[in-house]
Structure 1
């Protein structure tokens, strides 16, 4: 049924509703409330509790405008039990005239305690009220600019009326027997309970998203999510991949080159990867490991399996610095003349030479997003390794995978991330992938000592830096800036660079930021690695991938501006060698409660997974996974952490639906299209 058929919904409103993912009347039913207001009853003023919403009714005893810089319209209202002040900071002269003494008024809002007792700031109100009290709790919905709450509410009321009359059809897609076994309502019952909850509904359960109607809808939303990810996996495995078994001797030829022994976790993950690559189906594996756990070596072992069959591998990284780090690192394992490097900064004849190499002799290709551009032709691509995949868009990842699909086979796909993701969230977000975890750091690594100091303690910090550099150690100084502009970041880093040269005239200081040309960046990083630079001033471009074992001190300036994940990534740039390393988080007070929690978490823990759990609580799953803009983790009701048990139920239900009710699976993902159809594109 078309949205325009609803009373009060015109063309402009339809366009706004479309922005919310609402394209037909049925979609409205799945546009779920954010919260509820109770306008089903009148609360005596004496019983109205502070910091709670209430609807009161009484007579105006006095109204006046306060004098001062900001006039306030104050309306004093009394009932038989007590009195309260209604305050309006923005008001019209006509509104003041209407607030006459002895006139009856009904008002709704949050009750607070003011200087004169109870008050409500900017309440909703009705003079000489004639309207009936609401029959059910009033749902408040997500909206967008230009779309009023009242229009959405009226559209929903009409939609619910059509549903109850049978003029709007909704298929029950979950098995009745299963619903009964879980003591959950039907879909229609759940929608009625959620959109028009009865006055005696358990409001606490509704507010906490624990009402049976909400639980029913959560299960279906989660189910659609898992079914969509199953669809993604099925699509990925609908084409064969090259079978690339590797012998023990071939694997040993690579490990023999290592100056260390692989950890047990690395050996386990490598075995899982090699097993995948030996099969006919394309590998779809996520390897997550904390900073410094040795993911690059694991990737090299995967590349070795492809090389043993004469096939090409490609590794894509989100930044040029990280890509160059991989390029240098993999030269320790493979012949440099068989490794090609391509980034956006390589132009002209140099680029033509690299493209020729990729199309003919290159065995391993490393680079940035430049790797999937149209003119890049691969000879025989069999393995795609994507590092920090959440930094790439959906279409970028797909474009690279499709590069190897022109011979009837698709490449194996290995994703690596140093962003530890809590188990529950990983299972929800990456249900289409097999997950491996490198949960062991190389032996001998010492925990990084993390301290917090305020900006005014710079003299003490300066002594610590001079002492470290005099002892032959090296240090990072990371500049942060709220704005996303690369120009501003570079300027901030340059200013800091000048200041630090005044503080440390005898220390060789280098500067690296995003505006430097590739060759300049490469030169500075090479000098830092060779200990020709003692203190490196950098923006967060060094967040991932830089590996300088002699660097044992990191200062993060204005650390309160960064999220937990980014702070942990940056801290991981030190502690790469055998020395005791230190990370100094400098902050500018006063700190918000959120910032205090972040910095204390960093001081108390070096465990990436514990930090990720705290990050999830503070920021939510969408930001951690880099899916905030795509909406693929934008659950309407479900919370991967709070509803972990329910997610397990939905996962088991997905398996059962695929086996016994496959005809309903596609319908479910289409119904919850904001989750399902978005995920199906990944």
Structure 2
């Protein structure tokens, strides 16, 4: 049960002044539903401003605060033209305060002619005139002069402004009380870290690296503790030792001999499954390394031992694909494979549920529907979870309750993960690696070209389709965004390609209704549609051997891991495949290196390490890279530097106080609830 001391932090944001239904929505879009969420909504950066007596003291591009007297308002000749307010400083220098759109109404109210105001913003030059575009602050004389200012800049959603979110954060911090200390005093002294609450306050005030590191360490410690507690609990629980006799596996008709990595992984899995403590193993495989075959071998061990196995997939399309593939491969063995998804209804669903209960089904493949309350098994002893990063530890624990004893769990991911992040995300799992590809797998030619070559690319695409081949075209955004950058939008690109290819083109993106998305994917998978225009929702998608061309537009906007996953959608058949990376006109050095690496190698494990190096410090994890890690506070740099210490700290704490019952153990329980890793506490008695 959550400690009472945390209740104020888990209060809904509606309890704060000024938060009603209108403001609640944009806050929810950012995941800010409670006081603690606002506490941890840390600034992306800070703007440091300097107060100047007059404009002669300021440089172009500098953030300043200056006292101005308003002299004139100039409306634009059209609705789209800028609205300018002319003002002068104390020595007569003229400055234009420039507004666009509806902001001009604000300017008329805030800046009456003849009045003096303090103005904060970035000083720029437009032609022969100095200007500040959309001033950040306009304050009446006698109010706050803004002086030396270090101002936080927060991530926003539509309907929120910087002053509004900053005000809510300050309200949240005022409701936040100090918590008992869960870090060793010696560690705090050594690092020079503030207390938890002081760290939060400082992190919102300026570039306090010690405060940021302290908060990141808290998150890494909570995660490490939770994973270790789950692992320790798993070792104590009784599983079902499964020893197969090989009678099913020997009948498998595989299209190619097993690689050394596959044989090694199967042996590791077989060894785990023979033990009484349930297996918790991660199977990491590069794109096309043959994970499905390894998973089938593992599930057949369970079937040979008289038990049932289940495979859990993140989407219905992927579940259906796995079902077809497993059913085809398992057919010679006589093992009975079934499909169960949320879409199944009526008598067919009831029949499947009955067959699971009486043991007529050996292997079931499905989405989260396979572990709903109404689904009961005869003897579920083995579970495979595909694309592990889509499922949390909590869901793994739910699965554990489905068998007579805790089932053996094999988690698979096609996303090679750097060693550091493997420890962070999968600390409680043993790891098997498929680091070699089956023989006959062709290399994919990777080409980089500029946006100006799109016309030639479309002609090549037409030739490809005329030969009966299929292709993917991936865009980074769903709709055009306002601003100077021309962002390729999937809807705009689809409209352009549809004019050329008509009914041969289908579109998929995350905002489509599930049934529309499935219908489009099924048309493409069946070959009825030749070109799939999509966002990265196809990063984990259907297996279409006939697709031999992958186009990734504005490729510089994607991380290496994503580019590699997308490239892996082609090259699955016998024909040569090509991946075309279409780049924008301006590239950062990091983007250039990223695209060069894509041309240089197809080794997903190397690309994962390079991705970690290139993304470097500062980029927050979690939502930004399709759920790469469970962290929202810790940056990549902090994970690399702080995680080993946090992991050792967690291990020592559990060795000394396995039940978390001493003073520091009690504080650690509070930490687990604070970061919602309470599944770790629930493995303890009295948790």
Please classify the TM superposition score into its range, dividing by the shorter chain length.
0.7 to 0.9
> Displacement, 1:157?
6.5
> Displacement, 1:353?
3.7
Which sections of structure 2, spanning at least 5 residues, go unmatched? 480-488, 509-513
Residue pair 1:286, 1:435 contacting (<8 A) in 2 also: yes
> Displacement, 1:383?
0.7
- Specify the SS of the correspondent of 2:318: helix
Q: Does 2:107 align with 1:113?
A: no
Q: Of 544, 548, 554, which residue of structure 2 is paired with 1:553?
A: 548
Q: Does 2:363 align with 1:367?
A: no
Residue-by-residue CA offset, 1:245-284 (whole Å, 9 max, x unaligned):
45xx739954985454432322332233223222333222
Distance 1:80 1:3, change over 3 A: farther
The corresponding residue for 1:272 is: 268
CA–CA distance in 2 between the matches of 1:258 and 1:191? 56
> Displacement, 1:450?
2.5
Q: What are the residue-to-residue correspondences of 1:162-241 with 2, within 5 Å?
A: 169-187=178-196, 190-191=199-200, 193-196=202-205, 206=207, 211-234=209-232, 239-241=237-239
Residue pair 2:621, 2:632 contacting (<8 A) in 1 also: no
- Specify the SS of the correspondent of 1:436: strand
Q: Of 84, 88, 112, which residue of structure 2 is paired with 1:98?
A: 112
The corresponding residue for 1:506 is: none
How many residue pairs match? The answer is 629
The corresponding residue for 2:580 is: 585
Q: What are the residue-to-residue correspondences of 1:619-634 with 2, within 5 Å?
A: 621-623=621-623, 626-627=626-627, 633-634=630-631
When the two chains are superposed, the root-mean-square deviation of aligned CA atoms in Å is: 5.1
> Displacement, 1:385?
0.7
Q: What are the residue-to-residue correspondences of 1:473-622 with 2, within 5 Å?
A: 475-478=469-472, 500=501, 536-538=530-532, 544=540, 551=546, 553-556=548-551, 568-576=564-572, 581-585=576-580, 602-609=598-605, 611-612=607-608, 621-622=621-622
Distance 1:185 1:29, change over 3 A: same
The corresponding residue for 2:60 is: 50
Q: Does 2:74 align with 1:65?
A: yes
Distance 1:539 1:240, change over 3 A: farther
Residue-by-residue CA offset, 1:98-137 (whole Å, 9 max, x unaligned):
342xx65432212222223432223213343454666884
Distance 1:157 1:642, change over 3 A: closer
- Specify the SS of the correspondent of 1:382: strand
Distance 1:61 1:429, change over 3 A: same
Residue-by-residue CA offset, 1:295-333 (whole Å, 9 max, x unaligned):
012112211331232111111223455334433443434
CA–CA distance in 1 between the matches of 2:416 and 2:124? 42
CA–CA distance in 2 between the matches of 1:623 and 1:35? 18
The corresponding residue for 2:355 is: 357
- Specify the SS of the correspondent of 1:267: helix
Residue-by-residue CA offset, 1:476-499 (whole Å, 9 max, x unaligned):
223567659xxx999999997996
The corresponding residue for 1:649 is: 645
Distance 1:362 1:31, change over 3 A: closer
The corresponding residue for 1:298 is: 294
Residue-by-residue CA offset, 1:16-37 (whole Å, 9 max, x unaligned):
799666866x887655444434
Residue pair 1:476, 1:555 contacting (<8 A) in 2 also: no
Q: Does 2:75 align with 1:75?
A: no
- Specify the SS of the correspondent of 2:676: helix
Residue pair 1:136, 1:196 contacting (<8 A) in 2 also: no
Distance 1:380 1:455, change over 3 A: same
- Specify the SS of the correspondent of 2:329: coil
Distance 1:130 1:499, change over 3 A: closer
> Displacement, 1:402?
3.2
The corresponding residue for 1:86 is: 97
From the CA coordinates, give the structure whose radius of gyration is larger: 1
> Displacement, 1:461?
1.6
Distance 1:154 1:444, change over 3 A: closer
Residue pair 1:657, 1:665 contacting (<8 A) in 2 also: yes
CA–CA distance in 2 between the matches of 1:136 and 1:483? 37
Residue pair 2:249, 2:297 contacting (<8 A) in 1 also: no
Residue pair 2:464, 2:470 contacting (<8 A) in 1 also: no
> Displacement, 1:12?
5.0
> Displacement, 1:388?
1.9
The corresponding residue for 1:420 is: 416
Residue pair 1:323, 1:366 contacting (<8 A) in 2 also: yes
Residue-by-residue CA offset, 1:152-183 (whole Å, 9 max, x unaligned):
766777888899xxxx5443322222222334
TM-score, normalized by length of structure 1?
0.74
The corresponding residue for 1:242 is: 240
Q: What are the residue-to-residue correspondences of 1:4-15 with 2, within 5 Å?
A: 12-13=18-19
Residue-by-residue CA offset, 1:47-83 (whole Å, 9 max, x unaligned):
43433422234x5384342552235232333356966
CA–CA distance in 2 between the matches of 1:306 and 1:586? 43
CA–CA distance in 2 between the matches of 1:160 and 1:548? 52
CA–CA distance in 2 between the matches of 1:271 and 1:568? 28
